[in-house]
């Protein structure tokens, strides 16, 4: 079946430009294909497409030797790899209660999903590993198995003062706040899940310390508030949220 799937993908790619990441359905099952081509972001932000592709391929295989938090690569060619479709992302689950207010159970589901992610991230950090950019769109949840999966493992760059775990935590909080309209109860649920990790207290204190040392950067961001830049507003709110966290 694997070879038939890869042949099918080869045929699709020969017929049309499918983009860098695209979904396919084969024999009734859904998959995602990721290619080693550019996403047209600055090379300062991301390494070359091939380097990012190779890094992600290695990270996904390595993480799966320890924890089931990275997608399984079920087939690959020189210029792409294939993973199953593991479900909807946290952005989807975060907005679900707003879109269906008549269903009161969705609020509990969203809180559970964010808690499950926080617990999974803490587990990853306890194993001495990190994701690199755990944004809401790259975290998926499967309600059938009650499992969280982290996608997009290609990001290796970070602010040098942060540990990999600290950078993960900051990026997740920033990504959450950047959404703009999600209840903070979901973010607190994720932090409660993360607090179950052995490394949680140390990591939160580390992030607090680095942000305190660089508070002048966030003072500058506050000066930009009249312009309503999404990223700088989220950075300021992330700073305030992290400094407001209680460490016990």
- Per-residue pLDDT band for 235 (boundaries 50, 70, 90) equals very high
Please state the separation of Cα 203 from the chain's center in Å.
18
Q: Of the given ranges (15-24, 143-152, 223-232), which has the lowest mean pLDDT?
A: 223-232
Q: What is the pLDDT of residue 45?
A: 52
pLDDT score of 220: 83
The least confident of 31-45, 69-83, 90-104 is 31-45
Buried b (16+ CB within 10 A) or exposed e, 83-113: beebbebbbbbbebbeeeeeeeebbeebbbb
- What is the pLDDT, as a whole number, of residue 226? 81
- pLDDT value, residue 112: 98
Phi/psi at 143 (nearest 5 deg)? -65, -25
216 versus 184: the higher-pLDDT residue is 184
pLDDT band at residue 41 under the 50/70/90 scheme: low
**What's the pLDDT band for 42 if we cut at 50, 70, 90?**
very low
pLDDT for the residue numbered 119: 98
Task: Answer yes or no: is pLDDT of 248 > 70.
Answer: no
Q: Which of 47-61, 118-132, 203-217 has the highest mean pLDDT?
A: 118-132
DSSP-assigned letters across all residues of 213-232: HTHHHHHHHHHTGGGT-HHH
Is 117 a residue whose pLDDT tops 60?
A: yes
pLDDT (mean) for 166-177:
97
Residue 46: the pLDDT is 58
Cβ neighbours of 80 (radius 10 Å): 21
Contact 8, 26 (CB under 8 A): yes
Residue 155 pLDDT > 90:
no
Q: What is the pLDDT of residue 175?
A: 97
Average pLDDT on 73-78 reads: 96
Element containing residue 49 per DSSP (H, E): helix 49-64
Q: Is the pLDDT of residue 49 over 90?
A: no
pLDDT of the residue at 215? 87
Q: How many CB atoms lie within 10 A of CB 137?
A: 13
Task: Calculate ∠ Cα 132-136-141, nearest 5°.
Answer: 105
17 band by pLDDT with thresholds 50, 70 and 90: confident
């Amino acid at each position: 079946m694997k070879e038939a799937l890869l042949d099918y993908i080869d045929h699709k790619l020969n017929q049309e430009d499918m983009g860098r990441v695209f979904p396919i359905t084969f024999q009734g099952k859904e998959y995602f294909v990721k290619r080693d081509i550019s996403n047209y972001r600055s090379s300062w932000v991301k390494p070359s497409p091939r380097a990012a592709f190779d890094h992600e391929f290695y990270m996904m295989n390595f993480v799966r030797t320890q924890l089931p938090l990275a997608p399984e690569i079920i087939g690959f060619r020189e210029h792409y790899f294939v993973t199953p479709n593991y479900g909807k992302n946290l952005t989807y689950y975060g907005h679900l209660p707003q879109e269906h207010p008549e269903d009161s159970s969705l609020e509990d589901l969203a809180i559970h999903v964010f808690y499950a992610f926080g617990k999974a991230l803490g587990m990853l950090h306890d194993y001495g590993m990190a994701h690199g950019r755990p944004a809401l769109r790259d975290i998926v949840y499967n309600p059938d198995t009650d499992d969280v999966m982290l996608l997009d493992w290609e990001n290796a760059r970070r602010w040098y003062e942060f540990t990999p775990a600290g950078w993960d935590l900051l990026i997740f909080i920033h990504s959450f706040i950047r959404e703009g309209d999600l209840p903070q109860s979901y973010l607190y649920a994720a932090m409660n899940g993360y607090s179950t990790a052995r490394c949680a207290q140390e990591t939160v204190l580390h992030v607090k310390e680095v942000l305190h040392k660089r508070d002048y950067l966030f003072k500058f961001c506050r000066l930009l508030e009249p312009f309503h830049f999404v990223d700088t507003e989220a950075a300021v709110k992330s700073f305030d949220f992290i400094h407001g966290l209680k460490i016990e």
